[in-house]
Amino acid sequence: MSQIIWTEKAKFDYWNNIEYLQEKWTLADVYNFIDKVDDLLSLLAQENTTFKATSYKDTYIVPVTKQVSLFYKKGQNNNIELLRFWNNYQNPKKLTF
């Protein structure tokens, strides 16, 4: 099984998304987002799944919800490095890792 490593930006994005859902949506939506992320991380940790490659070196993207995509990188020893939980409505030119 791969180890999941959270970058600081990924942690920041994740908690920002949860805070937004808490303020603007329902508690059920918050739990739904958390469950989707947990399911996705479990899938990535199994080491046999690769999602769509991006133009960034060794970086992949997978939708978490319609509004949020996860960018991740496969690191040494098959570790999965979570880079960003990117809101798809943001300007893609502002995406940094």
Q: What is the pLDDT of residues 51-96, one digit of tens each?
A: 999 999 899 999 999 999 999 998 888 899 999 999 999 988 899 8
Look up the pTM and report it: 0.92
Span 4-86: which CATH code?
3.30.2310.20
Residue 94 has a CB neighbour count (10 Å cut-off) of 7
Residue 44 has a CB neighbour count (10 Å cut-off) of 22
What are the residues facing 70 on neighbouring strands?
A: 62, 85
